Structure 1
Amino acid sequence: MTGGPINVVMAITLGVLYSAGFYLLLQRSLMRIIIGIVIIGHGANLFLQSAGGPPGRPPILGGVEVEEMTDPLPQAMALTAIVITFALSTFLLALAYRSSVLLGHDEVRDDVEDRRIRRLQQRLAEDEDDDDENETDDHEEAVR
């Protein structure tokens, strides 16, 4: 009923899937982002299936001993993850198609508001540095 230890090949496969998915998720192309989300979804499904343990008998009381039964929860969660990944993928594909129709490309651009806030923070940091330098100069003159 409990899952056994995970084998090394499955752990490496899961690590590769998750790292490739997160790498693609950080790209600027919408198609790469969508492929990254799909790969992460596949990694989640593999993780849930490996967490379920080895195959066993159907969990029907009276027909099989409890030790031989398979836990149905990881299988149900994997099925739910498949449906969620499919729905999210179709939604993101529709958004990417709409973006490519309106803009002519699928690149995600920087937000103008983010740039404005970053410039404001840099200006404030420079002002604080100037104030610190003025205080140091005033202190040195007072010491003389």
Structure 2
Amino acid sequence: MILLYAVAGAGITACALFMILSRNLVRMLLGFSLLATAVNLLLFLAGGAGSGQPPIIADDAETLGAASDPTIQAMILTAIVIGFALTVMTGVLILRTWRAKLTLDARKLEAASRLGAPRTNDPTDA
């Protein structure tokens, strides 16, 4: 079963990288979301997905036995929230780009490159 999860994680990662390399901004956004999902799945595998026991230390034991690592589960929950926030913020930026430029092709968005190098602030300028 763990091998099936690993193959699914690798497949999702491959699809995500294919979508990220696209020039369409919406495909790139979906690719980043898929990549976050693949990382969460692989973190889940690293935490010991094969164990069916809860991470509770028994009364007569001093250490945790063969159970899933609760730290990995907490990291996955945090990564889900961060990934959702990143997806929403990037979606808003893509929507603003669409409204301003009427295109989602990254090759046609070159306004920032025409501005030139950033100017340094000289404290003597007033």
What is the TM-score normalised by the length of structure 2?
Answer: 0.75
Structure 1: which 5+ residue stretches go unaligned?
1-5, 115-144
Conserved 8 A contact 1:59-1:72: no
Match of 1:45 among 36, 40, 48: 40
Which structure shows the bigger proportion of residues in helix conformation?
1
* Number of aligned residue pairs: 109
Tell me the equivalent position of 1:71.
69
Please give the root-mean-square deviation of Cα atoms over the aligned residues, in Å: 2.3
Conserved 8 A contact 1:28-1:109: yes
Tell me the equivalent position of 1:98.
96
Tell me the equivalent position of 1:88.
86
Q: For residues 15-51 of structure 1, what are the alpha-carbon distances to aligned partners after superposition, in whole Å with 9 as ceiling and x for unaligned?
A: 1111110111111111000000010011011111111
Conserved 8 A contact 1:25-1:37: yes
Match of 2:23 among 25, 28, 33: 28
Larger radius of gyration: 1
Q: Structure 1 residues 54-63 or 29-38, which shifts more?
A: 54-63
1:59 aligns to what SS in structure 2?
coil
What is the TM-score normalised by the length of structure 1?
Answer: 0.66
Structure 2: which 5+ residue stretches go unaligned?
115-126
